Structure 1
Amino acid sequence: MEILAALTVLDVRTILLGIAVFLVVLRFLRRPRNPPPGPWGWPFLGNLPQLMLSGGEMHENFSKLTARYGNVVSINLAGMSMVVLHGHNTVKEAFSRQQLSDRPPAYMTTMVAPGHGFLASSGENWVELRRFSMTVLKKLGVGKSAFEQNIVTEAEIFLEEVQKHGGEAFDPKPALGNAVGNIISMVVFGKRFQYTDPSFKRLQQANSDLALQAGAGSVFEFSPVFNKLTMLPFVRSYAASLRNYYGQINQLIAEHSKEKSADHQEDLIDIFLSERKIKEEQGVENAALRPRNLQHIVGDLFGAGSETTATSLRWGMLYMMAYPEIQTRVQKELDDVTARNRLPRIADKPELPYTEAVLCEIQRIGTISPLGLPHATTEDTTIAGYNIPKGMTLMYNIWHNHFDPLVWEEPEKFRPERFLDGDGKFRSREEFMPFGTGRRMCLGEHLAKMELFVFFTYLLHHFTMKKPDHVPAVSFEVEQNSSLRAPQNFDICLIARD
């Protein structure tokens, strides 16, 4: 009996060992030949522990790996295998291909709010949603000169709001968020909100909370492991933030038709509902116009079109406080063009090369979206000679590209001259990619550029930005664990110019 028991135990161990060997061999066989190199990971958690224990932000840790593994690095984050791309030429080559235009599954959002928007969709869904969204933005004049007046109106209201502080120190984040949020609200809801409007304040807070909870790289969203670990507090918090955000969006959509007034402008919701009705009458099914997609289209536009621009403007305020000589030079250029008897206009941009260079340097050194949004391969492909299998998640390290010393001399320093030629004229840099690159680059690039220019020039036309006396030094510390690379909250003094 003892011998039989021993044999039974041995058989169990042999079977378990055989299974383990089989799984290892199967994993080896399923790996593509010549895969990108990368560090060995822990069981189940992959490289997540090393990256977290090494300190620093995720994009910085990825960047450090290039010294050993090169510009194409294989990473595993808690069951989510991915390839992280570095270097302008590598990224440009990769994202010029149609095979890299999908997104990995957005597990958490799909679970909380079924449906698709243009940010996280793939395949034909994405083609239809992007086409619809671009058509709407074009119809509403977004990115065109005619839309400038909407931005100007909100910028003037914003200036009136900050003037109330009378040069005393205040936190500009709430007012900036309200102002930029109202511009995209005109697009999706057909109206602007009073800054004290309770529903607008709830939406803004929900948007900020979601950005903070998501975390850089959206590990919760795209990991097939984390989305199932709902007992973990941070996973529950992220899911709660998603529910709150889409709850606020859906409430405003529901109230939309009840609040039509004489001054209501046509908006995205109107066009969506009108187009859907026409397709239904024609008996045509359109993937973009499914009812549950509306919350995502509105949510994508509002989320991507408000928090990002407001964050860039806050970086701009910090750098103007820290570099008063650069601020003075921008003000002189603005004064020379406007003669101080009118406000700057977007049409003035060709005459404001230094101002445009400063705005680009703010976006480069700020790099608010350091890892962009992940892509996924639609078929087997190669990048820089490495084999990448179908369905692989790909991320590109924008921060690495914006701080690459081989491209930018002393990248840690704030130097607007990087974007000027020898004659002092503005020059674009193809290595500069704050809005991404390829087929899935930011849909709202033109609107964001208009907003940044108008708000930045209006502020410097009216005010000089100064560090409050109670603050020992301007801090460039970033908000921790946010999906955006945002500065920590700060106070500023806006001193009215004569």
Structure 2
Amino acid sequence: MESTGRLTVLLKVSYGQACLYLGSLLIILLSFLLVRQLVKQRRPRGFPPGPTPFPIIGNILSLASEPHVYMKKQSEIHGQIFSLDLGGISTVVLNGYDVVKECLVHQSDVFADRPSLPLFEKMTKMGGLLNAKYGRGWVEHRKLAVNSFRYFGTGQKTFENKISEECLFFVDAIDEHKGKPFDPKHLVTNAVSNVTNLILFGNRFTYDDHEFRHMIEIFSENVELAASGWAFLYNAFPWIEILPFGKHQKLFRNATAVYVFLQQIIERFAQGRTRQSPRHYIDAYLDEMEQSAGDSAASFSQENLIFSVGELIIAGTETTTNAIRWAMLYMALYPSVQEKVHREIDQVLGNSRPPTLEDRLRLPYLEAVLHEVLRFCNVVPLGIFRATSGDALVRGYSIPRSTLVITNLYSVHFDEKYWSHPDVFSPERFLDGKGNFNRREAFLPFSLGRRHCLGEPLARMEMFLFFSSLMQRFSLQFPSGAVPSLTPKLGMTLQPLPYAICATKRQQ
């Protein structure tokens, strides 16, 4: 009896000591992690100044709402080049045209890398095309994509006819609404993505293809989630992956579903392939895989093919789709601007023939409207994050290799040095005194340097042909008493919130 009591006491003492020991270890571990995090948050010597970060999380909370606007305001305090702390990730932000050009053009190689962020590493393993590190893999994939876009798309005279055919499908689908209110997002997204699909797969998808439509919706959702606060938190603290909740988990589930779908669709369009006689990007990529099979350093692989196709679909759809949706919204919002577009189209085209690319020079006001939409709406306000491939010196500041770099393109398009009254929507800023279209230097919706958008020529073709075809046939108005919000939906792109519009067939 007495021995049993002693054993109980000993067990209680041992248990208490064990808890104390484990508690001490936990405190030591947390203290170590805290000190390590605080050390990471120290600015390197010669680094640009910036707003004071909070302990642990840095400046992440400041990016929760309109990060592009926040960064422009900070540049007014700290200068055109300043730094942020994204939870221990030292970041340099470039604001205004002058410093963006200085870095992306005059030091293009140094600012051509991609950051090895945990989110990018998990999603694409830093492979594919858009997120690939600056090196042989990126060069190989970029070259193949540029050649494919030229060979299967913009470099072919017949490709304009294919876009015009898609424009006809598009306006006919709108006409089915008979002037009643509808949300144009679905139709615009499908029409624009089909142009890229012709290059990637040699085929288009019907507007009622629910499987492809669902995949595009997932892509769009991931573009939004990838710039959410949870994404920034995951990059700073990747261990939060163990948490069963959070938007990052939705992002990963979406990515898995898209990967499987792309795998299936690539297999489908690779059927009937003849080696060295490519019909589209898929065939051309598989040819490169076979040719480089004996080269252990080559980057072409089945996995990178899937990543590249997914990235090209996103890049080829999101920006152009949102630009056209913004353009439709602003035509209804500014009837006087829409009236000038209609007048110009009637004078040049009438209603007897569809627009062609040769009409761009004869439709300067329409071109000015599209350019002002891209400037004013800033579809990709922060570009795609970059990193330095080596040590850089910018305006007396030292930027170490592998530093995360954000180019605030919003600040470029609202740079008072180059744009008078930038907060006013005014297509006339792109016209000279004689009414001719006037290119502007500080106009960078497709970025600059080594990593500028390879699909820029295609995007410009699409925007002109889709928008001119739309405006030739329809007048756009909001439903009675329903003016939508101009507040954008935040993500890697700025897209309009869902809105309804009426497209009334014009009587010319």
Q: Would you say same fold, with TM above 0.5?
A: yes
Q: Deviations over 1:365-405 (max 9, x none)?
A: 11111100111111111112211011101011111111223
Tell me how far 1:406 sits from its aligned partner. 3.0
The 2-side partners of 1:316 and 1:349 are apart by 17
Q: 1:137 to 1:222 in 2, by over 3 A?
A: farther
Q: Deviations over 1:62-121 (max 9, x none)?
A: 111112101111001122221000010100010122111100014234324546121001
The 2-side partners of 1:188 and 1:70 are apart by 43
The 1-side partners of 2:126 and 2:39 are apart by 35
Counterpart amino acid of residue 209 in structure 1: E
Contact 1:36 1:83 in 2 (8 A): yes
**Residue of structure 1 equivalent to 2:266:** 253
**Residue of structure 2 equivalent to 1:489:** 498
Q: 1:320 to 1:23 in 2, by over 3 A?
A: closer
**Residue of structure 1 equivalent to 2:315:** 304
Q: Deviations over 1:397-421 (max 9, x none)?
A: 1111112233222212110011111
**Residue of structure 2 equivalent to 1:9:** none
| 1:59 alignment partner, one of 68, 72, 81 | 68
The 2-side partners of 1:287 and 1:227 are apart by 32
Do structure 1's residue 37 and structure 2's residue 49 form an aligned pair?
yes
SS of residue matched to 1:99: coil
Q: Deviations over 1:194-241 (max 9, x none)?
A: 112232122222212212222269944982424644414122112112
**Residue of structure 1 equivalent to 2:247:** 234
Contact 2:103 2:394 in 1 (8 A): yes
Q: Deviations over 1:284-327 (max 9, x none)?
A: 45634222110011011101001211110000001100111111
The 1-side partners of 2:310 and 2:227 are apart by 18
The 1-side partners of 2:447 and 2:195 are apart by 22
SS of residue matched to 1:287: coil
Q: 1:24 to 1:289 in 2, by over 3 A?
A: closer
**Residue of structure 1 equivalent to 2:172:** 160
| 1:476 alignment partner, one of 483, 486, 507 | 486
Tell me how far 1:50 sits from its aligned partner. 4.0
Contact 2:273 2:283 in 1 (8 A): no
Q: Deviations over 1:98-152 (max 9, x none)?
A: 1111000142343245461210011221111111211222221336543211211
SS of residue matched to 1:382: strand
Contact 1:81 1:392 in 2 (8 A): yes
Task: Number of aligned residue pairs: give it.
Answer: 475
**Residue of structure 2 equivalent to 1:379:** 390
Q: What is the CA RMSD across the aligned residues, in angstroms?
A: 2.8
The 2-side partners of 1:21 and 1:219 are apart by 21
**Residue of structure 2 equivalent to 1:243:** 256
Contact 1:105 1:222 in 2 (8 A): no
The 1-side partners of 2:32 and 2:257 are apart by 44
**Residue of structure 1 equivalent to 2:17:** none
Do structure 1's residue 171 and structure 2's residue 180 form an aligned pair?
no
The 2-side partners of 1:133 and 1:277 are apart by 17
The 2-side partners of 1:196 and 1:51 are apart by 37
Q: 1:227 to 1:256 in 2, by over 3 A?
A: farther
Contact 1:478 1:486 in 2 (8 A): yes
Tell me how far 1:437 sits from its aligned partner. 0.9
SS of residue matched to 2:153: coil
Contact 2:103 2:111 in 1 (8 A): yes
Contact 1:276 1:289 in 2 (8 A): yes
TM-score, normalised relative to structure 1: 0.89
Query: What are structure 2's unaligned runs of at least 5 residues?
Result: 1-24
Tell me how far 1:474 sits from its aligned partner. 4.1
Tell me how far 1:158 sits from its aligned partner. 0.8
TM-score, normalised relative to structure 2: 0.87
Tell me how far 1:245 sits from its aligned partner. 2.2
**Residue of structure 2 equivalent to 1:329:** 340
Contact 1:220 1:226 in 2 (8 A): no
Equivalent positions of 1:389-404 (< 5 A) are 389-404=400-415
The 1-side partners of 2:48 and 2:120 are apart by 30
Q: 1:50 to 1:496 in 2, by over 3 A?
A: closer
Counterpart amino acid of residue 475 in structure 1: S
SS of residue matched to 2:292: helix
**Residue of structure 2 equivalent to 1:365:** 376
| 2:289 alignment partner, one of 248, 257, 276 | 276
Do structure 1's residue 151 and structure 2's residue 163 form an aligned pair?
yes
Contact 1:115 1:292 in 2 (8 A): no
Moved more, 396-405 or 152-161: 396-405
* Higher Cα radius of gyration: 2
Percent identical residues: 35
| 1:111 alignment partner, one of 114, 122, 130 | 122
